[in-house]
Amino acid sequence: MALRHALAIGEDHVVNGESKTTETNPGELARSVMHDKSNPLYEQYWNREGKFPSSLVESVRAKVIEWQRLEAAKNPPRGRR
């Protein structure tokens, strides 16, 4: 239940009890979930062994996409208007 709540509000540090105040950049959060195996959401994002329900996997992936969109909005491509 705590994991679902953490995913819903986007605070993955609630799950493992660690404070991740240095990772406030949404792009860094998305990259951490996708590439850092020590991140608790990494296994849920990739779900290689099918351990997690599809609804949980989709919610994690939706959160990563949201972080990527926030990052893109903060840093628009140069030369385009």
Confidence of residue 78 (pLDDT cuts 50, 70, 90): confident
Query: Which DSSP letter does residue 13 get?
Result: H
- Residues 6 or more apart whose Cβ sits within 8 Å of residue 66: 10, 26
Residue 12 has pLDDT above 60, yes or no: no
Distance CA 40, CA 77 (A): 31
| Global pTM value | 0.65
Residue 13 has pLDDT above 60, yes or no: no
- Residues 6 or more apart whose Cβ sits within 8 Å of residue 59: 4, 7, 8
**pLDDT one-digit tens code per residue, 18-72:** 545 455 799 999 999 999 999 999 999 999 899 999 999 999 999 999 999 999 9
